[in-house]
Amino acid sequence: MDDVKWERIGAAAGVLFVILVLIGSFLPGESPPAVDDSARDIARYFHGHSGAIQAGAFIAGLGAIALLWFLGSLWSRLRRPEGTRRLATIAAGGGVVTIGLVLIGFAMNATIALRLESLGVLGARFFYTLSSVVISMASFSIAALVIATSAAAMRSKVFPVWLGWVGAVLGLLWVIAGLGVATDNSGIFTLGFIAFLLWLVWILVISFFLFQPQEQAASTT
């Protein structure tokens, strides 16, 4: 199987990742509590949606496989020009770190759902805050992934230059969303959610161009 076919499989994996993430995120059918909500509200959320939270953690694991496949194709595309090989490594590394942090965060939430009675109300709030901080740390690794990809697009046109500029703005938004590691302000929480949705759109767009031959993708305006 040649590189073009592998990249197309990676593009499909990117779309699959987005689908799995959306299913896992919205499976509980209710918005998760903010980190500055009361301990009782947080415990009530986990008590009422324990099964969905555990299923969401499993789906997140499946999504991690799809994202890894997508990253492999993205890395292959980015490293093709000699001047972007370092950027390819940075982008793939950012993606791998993101997977690790997010899976840890989902694992913590699944633990709360599984052992809520043992943890108690205050314990649930502590671990929920910890999982939120861990997941917020992924803001920086996502920023590295997006910015490195954008720099490669602008430098060697592996993707359209306009996509590079859009990605640069998205990367900056993720850096700001990283303030979630230092505050429980609900506004930062909302900003992070917006960045998350825009990132999923970005992955879909990248997947679209990965499905095309490199020359065609670079020339698209």
- Model pLDDT, residue 28: 80
Say which residue, 148 or 221, is predicted with more confidence: 148
- How buried is residue 172: exposed, middle or buried, by Cβ count under 10 Å (0-12/13-18/19+)? middle
Instruction: Flag whether pLDDT at 167 surpasses 90.
Output: yes
Answer for the pair 64, 99: CB distance below 8 angstroms, yes or no: yes
CA distance 167 to 94: 14
C-beta atoms surrounding 82 within 10 Å: 7
Q: Which residue has the tokens 């799809």?
A: 66
pLDDT band at 185; cut points 50, 70, 90: confident
Tokens for 112, please give them.
């709360």
For residues 50-56, give the mean pLDDT. Answer: 93
What domain range is 34 assigned to?
A: 3-217
Tokens for 144, please give them.
């590295």
For the chain, the domain total comes to: 1
The per-residue pLDDT of the chain, averaged, comes to 91
CA distance 128 to 15: 29
Helices (H), 85-185: 85-114, 116-156, 161-177
- Model pLDDT, residue 99: 96
- Model pLDDT, residue 218: 52
Instruction: Flag whether pLDDT at 127 surpasses 90.
Output: yes
- Model pLDDT, residue 216: 53
- Model pLDDT, residue 217: 53
Instruction: Flag whether pLDDT at 7 surpasses 80.
Output: yes
For residues 100-118, give the mean pLDDT. Answer: 94
SS3 of residue 158 by DSSP: coil
Q: What sign results for the dihedral spanned by CA atoms 21, 131, 29, 48?
A: positive
pLDDT band at 25; cut points 50, 70, 90: confident
- Model pLDDT, residue 205: 96
- Model pLDDT, residue 188: 85
Tokens for 137, please give them.
């740390």
- Model pLDDT, residue 2: 63
User: pTM of the predicted model, to two decimals?
Assistant: 0.90
For residues 129-157, give the mean pLDDT. Answer: 95
Instruction: Flag whether pLDDT at 97 surpasses 80.
Output: yes
For residues 115-143, give the mean pLDDT. Answer: 94
CA distance 169 to 38: 34
CA distance 103 to 89: 21
